Chain A
Amino acid sequence: MDLPVLWFILIAVLWAGYLVLEGFDFGVGMLLPVLGRKDKDRRAIINTIGPVWDGNEVWLLTAGGATFAAFPEWYATLFSGFYLPLLLILLALIVRGVSFEYRGKISDPRWAAWCDRGIIVGSWLPAILWGVAFANLVRGVELDASHTFTGGFFSLLSPFALLGGAVTLGLFLTHGAVFLALKTDGDIRTRARALGLKLSTGTTVAAGLWAVWAQLAYSVAWTWAAVLVAAVSLVLVVVMVAKDREGWAFIFSALGIVAAVVLIFGSMYPDVMPAIDPANSLNIRNASSTDYTLTVMTWVAVALVPVVLLYQSWTYWVFKKRITVAHIPEPIGLSLKKTDDLTSA
């Protein structure tokens, strides 16, 4: 296999990893106000992803860095072209990250409420915008002969792209609900299961619609296989949730997301950024780095990716226990003001 093809696949793998892993983080964040009514519920929900969300987010940084290294033209055109959506995603990720970390630092209901808003908005925005961005990659965008994006912000908001946003939103909501059912016990688990059932049904319909549209308008024959896998997986999510088999449900919702990534990247191939005028498209040849750079990066990836997978899996194993409200300790955060006997000094 030649190197640009290999790196196209590797970048797809990194995105799949990112969307599967941060997909449930987003879902958990979005469902925070829905499933967490009291503060302890909310803390239990947040703690299901507490030890791992930051590691999950690094998949995005790796996908970004790998795109820069392996396909600099793609990196340059994509992030300058999708400027405002990316800005919104970055701001959302910033606010969400500090909200997770700082929420428990101060024991004050108003403080917690502000952090919850940060988590909720910071999870909804990217969950929708990633879908919009990827749908635009499938559909093709306006590029000129020097591969510079010439469309405006609103050209990114076609019906196909917006439906794409709804699909990632649905996928992540379902994935998050299933994850919560798997990682909690008691009341939250029951409600997460019920919600997962409803969400997965709706998501299956929206995703099916989008996939068939993508398939008929922009794709190639073999990606029908991905559509089939996605459809079966999403149906199986419904079945497994109904049968209280949360572990299997989670595996199938992850598989559904992977199949969606395969459909997206399969539709683009051999382009990385299809243009409305095909002559201006960026493809894996004219966007890629030199063979030398790709060789170096391949060795780095071959040496390090298995190690990363190993210790990240270990983290999930260490924190494998279900979390319930009973596990949540009393708040350890401080109050904002301090009074003590030393102030005279």
Chain B
Amino acid sequence: MDVLDLGRWQFGITTVYHFIFVPLTIGLSPLVAGLQTAWVRTGDEKWLKLTKFFGKLLLINFAIGVVTGIVQEFQFGMNWSEYSRFVGDVFGAPLAMEALAAFFIESTFLGLWIFGWGRLPKKIHLACIWAVALATNLSAYFILAANSWMQHPVGAIFNEETGRAELVDIWAVLTNNTVLAAFPHTITAAFVTAGTFVAAISAWWMVRLVRSKKAENVTLAKTVYRSGLRLGMWVMLVAGVGVAFTGHWQAQLMFEQQPAKMAAAEGLCHTEQGADFSILTIGNLNGDCESVRHLIALPNLTSFLATNTFDAEIKGTIQIQDEMTQKFGATRGEHSEIVGVDAPTDGTADQELSYIPNLAVTYWSFRLMIGFGIFSAALALGGLWVTRKGGVSDSRWIKRIALVAIPAPFLASAFGWIFTEMGRQPWVVYPNPNPSGVDGVWMMTWRGVSTAVGSGSVITSLVAFTLVYGALAVVWGKLMHRYAIEGVPTEVHDESPEANPDKDEDAPLSFAY
């Protein structure tokens, strides 16, 4: 494998891995903040128990999300230095803003929240977790703004003299319609993830306690875990509806902005009027579009989803390939001429360019994303039905389904990102029919890699990250599992300074590592 493939694998592995933890953190921090708010407002201990319980799980998850995030920021410089040179003037700004506006708040106030239970006044302590929750969501906004710019560059011009993209309108970058669609879609998906997590663990505990048939256990199930379950289910349902609507909006933008991604996702070779939506295909999707046979398809649905009319014309991959070849060249050498840089000297100048992303990856990741999403929403409806009117359940099936439910939204998010990023290939900055009339701000992925870095270095780092990340996954899984089966604390008390005015100055801290 060459540096390009290795660098792409590394980016894929480190990013998808980082994004296991991110959606749970984004969704769970506001939920924990909400639970703590319920406790502060009502004084009902069940909310404090749930706050402490899910708070611990949040922290275990947060820690690993933070440390794997550091890699993301430096990877652009390490493996993708030519990309960084090309876009730094534009792309660096949202990254720096994330650090200054959001990341500082997250890390500082998280420290205050963890260690401040016995030290800060109750309401100030509550404000700390809200600061964390809001900053985490703000973080997501800046990162998605940066990513959306790569999907659909706006607010920038191509400077022929310096050969790079230059920022002319930061407001356009921050209000790019691509990020306005991607942000709510990502955030609602994160809430589905966190809602599922809270609901599933609560459901598992509810069944476990009810089955033990002890009166005090059944009471605990009815008061504490049922509350957690209902909260999680409502979050799943409401956020799930949000995911569907925002996803639809995002898909319509993609038909406009990245037709190749959507054509590949549908396995659509020939431009069609009234295109079907395929649910299952046979054929090998190995890049030869003609070999794809749609087995089950919903007539005219793709056209409707793309444009809200059933007989709209949808471009096929063959036409897109022809159009892009005309504009961007047929080979790497020809492309370099168009861009105005030296042709590659490593023997790849004659390599033909395909402007269509990998069909199998795009097709299946799109369906798996949607499928896992629908599965979660359906479970929420079922769970709300079972626990209506104060009910609890002792069904073993609910316990089993709860465990199966947890990974589904994580998988949906992972496939969503694989679809978004793989569907953008072979471009790292996508050439768009740009509403602002910008042209020339685009870059092919193979041109973005670091020229100073040899494949030995990238292999070393790829192996090192994979091993360390693998070991961390085991530790994370063990801790999450162990703390989840510990359940809510049996006794909690108000540790705030106002509730304990006579506390001895030298007493042990209420929390320490």
Contact = CB atoms under 8 A, between A and B. Distances in A.
Interface of A: 43, 46-47, 50-52, 54-55, 57-58, 60-62, 64-73, 75-81, 83-84, 86-87, 90-91, 93-95, 97-98, 100-106, 146, 148-150, 289-290, 292-293, 296-297, 300-301, 304-305, 308, 311-312, 315, 318-319, 323-324, 326-330, 332, 334, 336, 338, 341-342, 344-345
Contacts of B468: 91, 94-95
Contacts of A93: 67, 70
27 contacts: A43-B512, A47-B512, A51-B112, A52-B111, A55-B111, A58-B107, A60-B70, A65-B95, A68-B95, A72-B84, A75-B76, A78-B77, A80-B79, A83-B78, A87-B457, A87-B460, A93-B67, A93-B70, A97-B66, A98-B472, A100-B63, A101-B513, A148-B452, A290-B166, A315-B112, A324-B506, A329-B510
B266 interface: no
Contacts of A293: 89-90, 92-93, 166-167, 170
A330 B482 CA distance: 19
Contacts of B168: 292
B386 interface: no
Chain B interface mostly: helix
Contacts of A101: 59-60, 63, 513
Given A69-B88, A290-B89, A293-B93, A54 B460 contact: no
A102 B460 contact: no
Given A83-B452, A308-B104, A319-B115, 19 more contacts: A50-B111, A57-B107, A67-B92, A69-B95, A72-B87, A76-B81, A77-B452, A83-B457, A87-B464, A94-B468, A146-B451, A292-B168, A293-B92, A300-B100, A311-B104, A327-B509, A329-B509, A334-B486, A345-B212
B294 interface: no
A59 to B, nearest CB: 9
Contacts of B479: 102, 105-106
A66 B464 contact: no
B374 interface: no
Nearest to A103: B513
Nearest to A50: B513
Contact of A104 (B91, B164, B464, B513): B513
Interface residues of B, number: 84
Interface string B54-90: 0000011001101110110110111101101101111
A94 B509 contact: no
A47 B92 CA distance: 35
Contacts of B97: 65, 300
Given A65-B96, A75-B88, A345-B208, A91 B464 contact: yes
Nearest to B211: A345
Contacts of A68: 73, 76-77, 84, 88, 91-92, 95-96
B222 interface: no
Interface of B: 59-60, 63-64, 66-68, 70-71, 73-74, 76-79, 81-82, 84-85, 87-93, 95-101, 103-105, 107-112, 114-116, 119-120, 164, 166-168, 170, 207-209, 211-212, 217, 450-453, 457, 460-461, 464-465, 468, 472, 475, 478-479, 482-483, 485-486, 506-513
Contact of B100 (A46, A103, A305, A342): A305
Nearest to A335: B482
B466 to A, nearest CB: 12
Given A292-B166, A329-B512, A312 B108 contact: yes
A271 to B, nearest CB: 17
Contacts of B78: 79-80, 83, 86-87
A60 B96 CA distance: 11
A62 to B, nearest CB: 4
